[in-house]
Structure 1
Amino acid sequence: MTLPNYQYSKEFAREMDKKDPLRKFKDRFIFPKVGGREAIYFCGNSLGLQPKAVKEYVQKELVQWGDKAVDGHFDGEQPWFNVHERAKKALAHIIGAREHEVVAMNSLTCNLHQLMVSFYQPTGERFKIITEAGAFPSDMYMLESQVNFHGFSPEEAIIELSPRDGEHTLRTKDIIDAIEKNANDLALVMMSGLQYYTGQVFDMQQITQAGHRAGAMVGFDLAHAAGNVLLHLHDWEVDFASWCSYKYLNSGPGNVSGIFVHEKYADQPGLKRFAGWWGHVEEERFQMEKGFKPMYGADGWQVSNGNVLGMAAHQASLDIFYEANIHQLRKKSELLTGYLDFLIREIGGQNGVLEIITPKELDQRGCQLSLLVHKGGKAVFDELYQHGIVGDWRNPNVIRIAPTPLYNSFEEVFRFAEILNQSLDKFA
């Protein structure tokens, strides 16, 4: 995609908004207030806004619960027995998968633990895991505990890849080289799809291909990638992945996660897994007999029946995503984040105080830009908040700003730049 010739002016931003085919979706979300004023919300990478339709979707299930009670599992317009099926069409669209490869269930770290049972089966010869240094803490804890569970030392088994000296992001070549170097004892490559701190999008296709050449399984935590960047998990032949739904997928705090399991594992009942009754074949589930028989595809990794109220909130957002189309959202995201990048470089590119550590290449970033503030960072962040800008602070000195294409505008990005300029003059 070729970015336009951006201009540092409100008029330019307003003209971009007029031409935006997705501008109507902004009105479908509820914006918080800061100091009594509607906020400019750039924190969808942490918690997405509430769709206005959530109340209607949840209320429908509350009525079903009140009117039918236990009969709601099999009776009514949308019986709860099949609640996990509702999200499949939109999730497959967002993740780049086939419907039987995805299912909404559990929470993110629980899902990763569940998937590791199947896809991390170390031996005395093959037991190492490659991941990125500085991964989100929950992923680090998950990997450490999995390695310990299998009787290995995390210090020996987990290979953490760091950027080169003086650089903020990992080079794809260095990731591939590390995979090839450890090919003989590598069991798993398990990384973020999008690094939460720097905002870097990893080349998941190349990483998957390299991992498979080395004889390893490959999986991704897509917490910051799902609903943000274009994914083609089926075509890339990723083995497994999981994500949360409360960031860019706007499903509510702590709401349901989702998993992807490639089609090649769809009908492998002998593959190790931790089973529960909701993953058992539907035709025999209520016979209440011994002997687990997994459902076809990702559904066979389910453990418990779905949280109906949470799934309703999830669906309210997924229906918006499917209508907006992830490909159209990505186009706007590139334009919107490109404008943010342009304005920040116009403001702080010459004084050395402000540095964008997210890659400039469009295919290596989503809608988040991570701003390294070398002087007065927290004061600058607090000043932004006082002016109604909701972003995200990460120690020691990074401000994460994520203009989300579903509900942010070019004029909001311009307003942010004006306030940032004032704050840098005041504190930096």
Structure 2
Amino acid sequence: MSFPWARQYEPKNAVTKFLDEKLPLPRLVYNAVGAGYPVPRNLSYFWNFGVLAGFFLVVQIVTGVVLAMHYAANAQVAFATTEHIMRDVNWGWLMRYAHANGASFFFIVVYLHIFRGLFYSSYKAPREMIWLLGVVIFLLMMATAFMGYVLPWGQMSFWGAKVITGLFGAIPLVGEPIQVWLLGGFAPDNASLNRFFSLHFLLPFVIAGVVILHIWALHIPGSSNPTGVEVKSESDTVPFHPYYTAKDGFGLGIALLAYFALVFFLPNALGHPDNYIEANPLSTPAHIVPEWYFWPFYAILRAFTVDFILPAKLWGVIAMFASILLWFFLPWLDKSPVRSGHYRPLFRKFFWFGLIPAMIILFICGGAPAEEPYVMLSQIATAYYFIHFLVILPIISSVEKPEELPYSITEAVLGSDKKMVKGENAEPAV
């Protein structure tokens, strides 16, 4: 994003001048997250979650590299090396708990980031590429998290890998070969662990690369804002530093308080008890579930129970992947000229009283046993989920009458005083 009023980087001494000529890294940082990057002045704390997601990605990479130094991807010793890390490696318990709970916090802030984007229509032009890259990041996160869940080689790790890879077996003709190729055999074993460990180690760096593209795409049109009104003048913006570095720092402090409370006081609260039992191919757990952040998509998978033209299992697999892939089409499904949900009364009602409850129900049903009433509830929530995006959203965007938008971001913040809107000084009071 280039605005004529954006502050320009000026090297202060011989060293920074030399660096700026040969490797302009300080200039890049200054223009990306410094005073040289103007952002809308009305961003709320909902815009903190992107920074928080980046922070937890770094936590995952750092702790993951340390854990990889002590882990052995072998079915005979994988569970034992996990216990070795916990008991014998200096600060190993902290690294493992920080990594396991860091994954949960990573998904928490990303889910909040996604729902903020859905409510404020951050997928609309000119920010379609930012949204599309964000969906790619989410898919990579899910793949990485699934492979990481297998590595401790507990009961849920083994049976989760068997069930999830078994889904590919539902694909006609090529399903079974794909499943065997993924596992390196007919059941999770040494080959599976080696493959999943290698990919689990590699994919976070791929995610980091796509995050860089995500940020790069963001800097072309600039940040969105709660009003959905584009920047019109210098008075609509403030420098990212120090205003939003301070705001993001405060949000990060609150997130870290919750994160460390979980790591130090409730480190196993989000894990499944069966995963603290070594994997046993001859003992099937009573209730196989993935990690909590997969629950809504697992509920969609299990919502299909009747064969209709295709097997129910295949319908479930198609719906599970389609529930995320349809996000790629949101920029074209939602035709409303207004972005912010604050100015879309009909959209707002369906979002808060339709989509959000449906997602909550899917979260609950995904972690519950595959029995009534959870199966029926997941079927209803799944139906609404797809109807919301494929039917309701396009209809709303065509028939809805939006509320009046403010003239500018400045007007939304300071009121409709024309001198304030134009950035002029108000006349002194008499």
Q: Same fold (TM over 0.5)?
A: no
TM-score category by the smaller chain? under 0.3
Higher helix share: 2
TM-score, normalising length: structure 2: 0.22
* Bigger RCO (CA 8 Å, 6+ sep): 1
Which of the two has greater strand per residue? 1
